[in-house]
């Protein structure tokens, strides 16, 4: 059994989000695995603007975590 985390194994990555709008993902990115999966999915989209937005959401998450820690 391989215990190494692989974001590709997360079922959420199979969602079709083509007709959705952006949202504040930082509220849902608590575990590092969620951050990795979110960024991996955004990189797959091959959309620079979306990836920059994702990085901003991750920064919001990390800033919030540092503030409460």
Cβ–Cβ < 8 Å for 64, 29: no
Residue-wise pLDDT tens digits, 2-51: 678 776 676 655 556 666 666 678 888 888 899 999 999 899 888 898 89
pTM tops 0.85:
no
Residue located via tokens 């974001």: 7
């Amino acid at each position: 059994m391989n215990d190494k985390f692989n974001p590709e194994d997360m079922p959420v990555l199979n969602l079709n989000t083509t007709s959705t709008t952006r949202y504040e993902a930082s509220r849902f990115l608590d575990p590092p695995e969620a951050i990795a999966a979110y960024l991996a999915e955004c990189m797959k989209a091959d959309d620079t603007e979306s990836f920059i937005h994702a990085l901003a959401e991750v920064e919001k998450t990390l800033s919030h975590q540092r503030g409460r820690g």
